[in-house]
Structure 1
């Protein structure tokens, strides 16, 4: 079986420069991520950015912190609080959101007052951080203008489920960008959606049905208006992490295409491995590998198009820990 290709070239990812080992932090140091710098760098072209350096703050420098209202904090110096960098960080975030039109995702430095996506401390007049916490000002401005772009914090990528989910979304984003470059038509949009059927079944089955309904009357809508809406809803659906239950259900559906081709013993083995995966005894890669083995022996044209079977390069081994 010829599985769908995840990409013909490396997708571009923006990343906080300190995560690649650049000595751009306030203390002149870095926060190198071994995962990013030594593993993911083989699969992605990184675009390193440090907003604090970009707006003119030196290295080393006085640290900044968020203060005030967690919903609309300001970024000021920790010692010289009259030094307010709020507007500069927000403006740079807006600028880069427009300039980086060829990236397929962004990995941010966690808990940073400029780059943190969540749980960033916002200090009050009593010197204590508030609850709830805030979001880095550069990241906030960037993400507000690129709501469909897959984004994640470096620390969360240590979770195998979140890591696999993020990278799946990055490759989905890259494939959509390729579709737009090749020329969007009603047929290519429907074909794209068809390829994502089982991935959506594993992540958000209700949204799969909703997206199907959205495209059901495609001929009645303006394609250039409907396509962005479809893609936004697709990316929102894929952000939901699949579970052992939803993966098992998807594997069951796919194995149904083999019921006439397999012997009774082979069908029993397939069901046993799906059950073991559902019960947490074996990782996802075990029943999935057997399933792909059977489809190589008994090819099915529709199944061969399904992104679910290979949403990212197999050598990343992302499903070995699911």
Structure 2
């Protein structure tokens, strides 16, 4: 019997142009194949185009960030209209009502870009290339632990796998805490996520365990907030090869295999640690050997099925 839980669909905000909506400044789009293709069937998208929602229309005049004594300003390039306050107010209103498990922003956008946005002088070359889009900055300030990426960085296999893992974890947490949960439900949720949390942050793993031990003895909302903070903080820290190896050995110790099988599994884990095989190899083998009577706990760990299997993201993550 497969002990793996059913997948919860994440709700993910996304720059609308990345799904093929014709909302770019030139009336075109920037459809991303991974987002609109492979990931699309597994998530519920919340498309947002700040420029369109701010009433700029399309096609429209291009924008850029310009430095000032009040910080970067969002300016139209030719007509010199300052849109900063309008965009900031829109972002604040949008963020207050935004109930999502992650956000994918359009790269290099002066409103939505996360990294490396040029901050120009009124004339001449940019004074700084470390800016952040005005809209994106408000979203991140409101929720620093929200999983966010831009479509450019999602071309990197490790960043892609990390982001997708986080949005599915956040979705499961949201599903739990927005329901009529009881202390035993929080205990069960944590039990399923133990190895996943441990792979990301051993300190948060210990903190989360202490919080769960208080279930039933603390006010419900207070406990939920503290546990959510610990859980989301843990997942915000990238899993390392060393911590993955630690988890794999933990799980190996929980299943019954003969001496030869154990030696084979230890060798495969060592091959992953040495960078010779991707993480998917030891994970698949451990899951295969956990099908005996004592394998239910291991198979039930979200570490082994953090997102839908057909995404196959761990196949491309180097050690």
Distance in structure 1 (CA, Å) of the matches to 2:69 and 2:199: 35
Mapped contact 1:6–1:171 kept (Cα < 8 A): no
Distance in structure 1 (CA, Å) of the matches to 2:129 and 2:217: 45
TM-score normalised to the size of structure 2?
A: 0.92
Distance in structure 2 (CA, Å) of the matches to 1:127 and 1:184: 58
Residue of structure 1 in register with 2:138 after alignment:
141
Q: How does 1:234-249 map to 2 (within 5 A)?
A: 234-249=231-246
Distance 1:226 1:131, change over 3 A: farther
Per residue, is there more helix in 1 or in 2? 1
Distance in structure 2 (CA, Å) of the matches to 1:2 and 1:92: 46
Distance in structure 1 (CA, Å) of the matches to 2:184 and 2:245: 30
Mapped contact 1:168–1:311 kept (Cα < 8 A): yes
The alpha carbon displacement at 1:44 in A equals: 1.3
Q: How does 1:141-180 map to 2 (within 5 A)?
A: 141-180=138-177
Distance in structure 1 (CA, Å) of the matches to 2:107 and 2:145: 20
Q: How does 1:201-212 map to 2 (within 5 A)?
A: 201-212=198-209
1:293 aligns with 2:292: no
Residue of structure 2 in register with 1:303 after alignment:
298
Distance in structure 2 (CA, Å) of the matches to 1:92 and 1:210: 37
Q: How does 1:256-271 map to 2 (within 5 A)?
A: 256-258=253-255, 261-271=256-266
Distance in structure 2 (CA, Å) of the matches to 1:210 and 1:104: 22
Distance in structure 2 (CA, Å) of the matches to 1:52 and 1:44: 24
TM-score normalised to the size of structure 1?
A: 0.92
The alpha carbon displacement at 1:216 in A equals: 3.9
- Structure 1: stretches of 5+ with no match in the other structure: none
The alpha carbon displacement at 1:72 in A equals: 3.2
Residue of structure 2 in register with 1:189 after alignment:
186
Residue of structure 2 in register with 1:280 after alignment:
275
Distance 1:151 1:243, change over 3 A: same
SS of the residue 2:26 aligns to: coil
1:15 aligns with 2:10: no
Distance 1:79 1:45, change over 3 A: same
Mapped contact 2:211–2:226 kept (Cα < 8 A): no
Deviations 1:206-241 (A, max 9, x none): 221122234444455322123112212311221212
Deviations 1:122-149 (A, max 9, x none): 1124533233612111111223223343
Distance 1:178 1:198, change over 3 A: same
- Structure 2: stretches of 5+ with no match in the other structure: none
SS of the residue 1:76 aligns to: strand
Distance 1:280 1:298, change over 3 A: farther
Distance 1:70 1:214, change over 3 A: farther
Mapped contact 2:279–2:315 kept (Cα < 8 A): yes
Distance in structure 2 (CA, Å) of the matches to 1:294 and 1:71: 60
SS of the residue 2:269 aligns to: helix
